[in-house]
């Protein structure tokens, strides 16, 4: 178990190295930091002098190693716009994004399993056909369009849900602001969560359905029938457990992807998370913030995938974590 | 009264354009505690017979007509819920490949306990005690530990023993074993068969053994059915069928056994292949491969007729018996 963990952590570190290299390459090539630091009126000589002082004339590798050293100490540069450490800016926006992702994940987990199982057990029923039809629609419509349509229907026409912002948030554990403590917070997070879930949910319904249908054809399900096991136990114990194993692996990757999808959702709903922040940073050519965002999102991706792999090992008895490390 | 009485069982498969008859008017009986072998080449309908008895045909297969009287009750008329109470309880099945039969994510204990509790109201601890007892009967070493193990931790032979133990959990009246050793190592095959025979005899359980191995049938069973292209072509006491086969197909099967051939000689094959169920020849389905076939064999389907202790579906049986007799006396 420990050996496997160490192995996975080393893999994660290798991935983070690659991300940091890409991040630095962007920073190195995107815009001129001097333009942001000094105005138009500074002479070329002074600029060169400043460049030397800031180390901008050093070789790519020297600069990259310096960048890495700073990153390891938690210094991801200073945002040009906020004049604050980029990491602090992102960490302040992180709770909003994570809560949005959590909301969408809850919707996905809560709905995809029953819908996927139902459509697999009764593939020819009218309801199954409707669910499968809607899922194609859901996958096909881009998130930003779904979001705008939802605002139009539920905020403008019906007036049930607010169309922007987080509403009443409550401070918990120091700086973390949560939506889940007040009714107003819940109302505000509804539409963005549904919009964010709109692509992943149909994907998961279809994935679970396909896996489940395959499992239902297996010998061990047939054998369970031959033993006279009750149908609900065959579906929910024999079949579902085997169905969810591959789904967990895909699911982990998708949670990471959802963090990236928040850029669109947050922009449409003016959700003050890091996706919205990233888009603003791009508009302002706030290079350190862009790079910091890239590294933080990459880090979240790597961490969730590692955790998912560990969970998979715990759920699947045929994966022996202790032996895999060797 | 016989334990099982199958009357004119016909099973069809609904394909896209037409329906295919996989079993054609099969009739046979099984007495209490009797052991019956069903032999034939692949595609003869042996496994389909087994699954029909459990009413577990997977779509698009269905029982078209006929009766399956089990303990006097026609089980083809039972609802799914009533049939569930028979499966695994009064009638158990042993599948072909133990590597894929057990659920990989459930422990042996969970899979045994659930079987018991599907049919009897027992506590988990009580069910585990019965499971341990049954595992001991099939000579599983340290059965208590096995209960917590997952299938992948056990060998194929061990898994098939566990499946036999599971079949015996509820003291069934009938066990249907569908090629229970085909997927196993040759060295283990004999052990498993011996175990199955021993347990069936000591528990007085009826056995339907589906196999293509005539050697196994001769050791294990009292009566044998020979199937060809979804039909019964010969049935009778195993000893009679092995020693004095009547149907040219059965003769062919026995002549094809390696024991029937001198070392260095080629095995005597039956020429040709079993016809596809979508293209069964008219008349006797075996006629295109039969060396004794005459014109009316190709036109008229032979009825199954009793000759002494055996039943045979062949027009030319009487003639064959004469020729065999002449050959023997010559």
pLDDT at A153: 85
The CATH number given to whatever domain includes residue B228 is 3.40.50.300
Asked whether the CA dihedral A238, A240, A241, A246 is positive or negative, the reply is: positive
The CB density around residue B100, as the number of other CB atoms within 10 Å, is 17
* Size of chain A in residues: 326
Is pLDDT of B122 > 60?
Answer: yes
Looking at the 3D structure of chain B, how many domains does it have? Answer: 2
Instruction: For residues B59 and B199, state if they share a domain.
Output: yes
> Per the omega criterion (within 30 degrees of 0), is the bond before A210 cis?
no
Is pLDDT of A136 > 70?
Answer: yes
Q: CA of B163: which chain A residue's CA is closest?
A: A223
Structure tokens at A202: 């149909």
Q: Where are the alpha helices (DSSP H) in chain B?
A: 46-53, 80-86, 98-101, 108-119, 124-137, 143-146, 156-168, 186-203, 214-220, 238-243, 248-255, 317-329
A217 Cα to chain B: minimum distance (Å): 9
- Is residue B30 domain-resident? yes
Instruction: Name every residue in B having a CB less than 8 A away from some CB of A.
Output: 54, 56, 58, 84-89, 92-93, 95, 97, 100-107, 114-115, 118-119, 150, 152, 166
- Is residue B100 domain-resident? no
Q: pLDDT grade, residue A221 (50/70/90)?
A: very high
Tell which of B170, B192, B207 closes a domain. Answer: B170
* Cα dist from B131 to A72, A192, B113, B302, whole Å: 57, 53, 7, 49
The reported pTM is: 0.81
Instruction: For residues B146 and B110, state if they share a domain.
Output: yes
Tell which of B151, B170, B189 closes a domain. Answer: B170
Is pLDDT of B328 > 70?
Answer: no
Q: B124 lies in which domain range?
A: 105-170
Residues B312 and B246: beta-carbon distance below 8 Å: yes
* Cα dist from A133 to A205, A206, A244, whole Å: 11, 11, 23
Instruction: For residues B137 and B226, state if they share a domain.
Output: no
Instruction: For residues B6 and B62, state if they share a domain.
Output: yes
Instruction: For residues B127 and B239, state if they share a domain.
Output: no
The CB density around residue A28, as the number of other CB atoms within 10 Å, is 15
- Is residue B99 domain-resident? no
- Is residue B98 domain-resident? no
pLDDT digits (tens, 9 = 90+) for A40-87: 677 778 878 877 777 777 788 888 888 888 888 888 888 878 888 888
Instruction: For residues B165 and B307, state if they share a domain.
Output: no
Structure tokens at B146: 């096995």
CA nearest neighbour of A278 among A79, A105, A98, A103 = A79
Is some CB atom of chain B closer than 8 A to the CB atom of A267? no
Phi/psi zone of residue B145: left (φ > 0), alpha (ψ -120 to 50 degrees), beta? Answer: alpha
Instruction: For residues B231 and B295, state if they share a domain.
Output: yes
Distance CA A275, CA B188 (A): 62
Tell which of B124, B149, B170 closes a domain. Answer: B170
Find all residues with CB under 8 Å of B64, minimum gap 6, and list them: B10, B11, B12, B21
**Does the distance separating the beta carbons of B150 and A227 come in below 8 Å?**
no
- Is residue B140 domain-resident? yes
Distance CA B90, CA B82 (A): 12
The CB density around residue A73, as the number of other CB atoms within 10 Å, is 8
pLDDT digits (tens, 9 = 90+) for A77-113: 888 788 888 888 888 888 888 888 888 989 999 999 9
This complex has an ipTM of 0.89
Q: Is A119 exposed, middle or buried (0-12, 13-18, 19+ CB in 10 A)?
A: buried
Is some CB atom of chain B closer than 8 A to the CB atom of A283? no
The CB density around residue B66, as the number of other CB atoms within 10 Å, is 19
pLDDT at A323: 53
**Full set of structural domains in chain A with CATH:** 31-73 (no CATH), 88-284 (1.10.3720.10)
């Amino acid at each position: 178990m420990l050996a496997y963990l160490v192995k996975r952590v080393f893999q994660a570190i290798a991935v983070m190295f690659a991300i940091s290299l890409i991040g630095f390459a962007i920073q190195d090539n995107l815009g001129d930091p001097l333009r942001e630091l000094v105005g138009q009126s500074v002479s070329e000589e002074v600029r060169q002098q400043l460049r030397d002082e800031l180390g901008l004339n050093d070789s790519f590798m020297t600069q990259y190693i310096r960048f890495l050293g700073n990153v390891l100490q938690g210094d991801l540069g200073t945002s040009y716009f906020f004049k604050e450490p980029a990491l602090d800016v992102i960490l302040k926006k992180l709770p909003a994004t994570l809560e949005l992702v959590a909301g969408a994940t809850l919707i996905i987990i809560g709905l995809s399993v029953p819908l996927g199982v139902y459509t697999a057990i009764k593939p020819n029923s009218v309801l199954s056909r409707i669910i499968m039809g809607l899922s194609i629609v859901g996958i096909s419509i881009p998130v930003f369009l779904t979001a705008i349509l939802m605002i139009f229907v539920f905020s403008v026409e019906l007036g049930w849900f607010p169309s922007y912002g987080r509403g009443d948030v409550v401070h918990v554990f120091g700086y973390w602001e949560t939506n889940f403590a007040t009714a107003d917070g819940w109302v505000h997070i509804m539409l963005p969560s549904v919009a964010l879930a709109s692509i992943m949910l149909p994907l998961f319904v279809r994935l679970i359905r396909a896996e489940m249908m395959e499992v239902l054809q297996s010998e061990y399900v047939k054998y369970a029938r031959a033993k006279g096991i009750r149908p609900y136990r065959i579906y929910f114990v024999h079949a579902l457990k085997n169905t969810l194993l591959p789904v967990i692996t895909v699911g982990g990757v998708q949670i990471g992807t959802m963090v990236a999808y928040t850029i669109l959702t947050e922009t449409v709903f003016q959700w003050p998370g890091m996706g919205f922040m990233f888009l603003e940073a791009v508009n302002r050519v706030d290079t350190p913030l862009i790079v910091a965002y890239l590294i933080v999102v990459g880090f979240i991706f790597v961490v969730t995938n590692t955790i998912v792999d560990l969970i998979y090992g715990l759920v699947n008895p045929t994966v022996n974590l202790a032996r895999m490390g060797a | 009264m016989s334990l099982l009485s199958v009357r004119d069982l016909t099973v069809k498969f609904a394909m896209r354009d037409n329906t295919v008859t996989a079993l054609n008017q099969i009739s046979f009986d099984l007495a209490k505690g009797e052991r019956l072998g069903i032999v034939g080449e692949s595609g003869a309908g042996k496994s389909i017979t087994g699954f029909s008895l459990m009413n577990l045909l997977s779509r698009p297969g269905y029982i078209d007509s006929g009766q399956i009287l089990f303990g006097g009750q026609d089980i083809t008329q039972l609802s799914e819920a009533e049939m569930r109470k028979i499966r695994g309880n009064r009638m158990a099945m042993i599948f072909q490949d133990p590597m894929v039969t057990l659920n990989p994510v459930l422990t042996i204990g969970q899979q045994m306990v659930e079987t018991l509790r599907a049919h009897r109201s027992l506590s988990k601890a009580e069910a585990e005690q019965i499971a341990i007892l049954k595992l001991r009967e099939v000579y599983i070493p340290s059965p208590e530990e096995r209960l917590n193990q997952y299938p992948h931790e056990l060998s194929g032979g061990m898994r098939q023993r566990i499946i036999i133990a599971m079949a015996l959990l509820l003291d069934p009246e009938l066990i249907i074993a569908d090629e229970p050793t085909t997927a196993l190592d040759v060295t283990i095959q004999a052990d498993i068969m011996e175990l199955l025979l021993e347990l069936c005899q000591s528990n007085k359980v009826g056995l339907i053994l589906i196999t293509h191995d005539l050697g196994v049938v001769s050791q294990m069973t009292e009566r044998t059915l020979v199937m060809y292209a979804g039909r019964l072509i010969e049935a009778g006491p195993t000893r009679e069928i092995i020693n004095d086969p009547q149907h040219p197909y059965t003769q062919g099967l026995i002549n094809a056994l390696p024991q029937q051939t001198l070392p260095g000689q080629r095995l005597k094959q039956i020429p040709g292949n079993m016809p596809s169920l979508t293209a069964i020849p008219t008349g006797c389905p075996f006629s295109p491969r039969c060396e004794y076939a005459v014109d009316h064999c190709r036109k008229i389907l032979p009825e199954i007729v009793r000759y002494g202790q055996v039943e045979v579906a062949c027009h030319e049986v009487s003639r064959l018996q004469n020729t065999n007799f002449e050959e023997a006396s010559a």
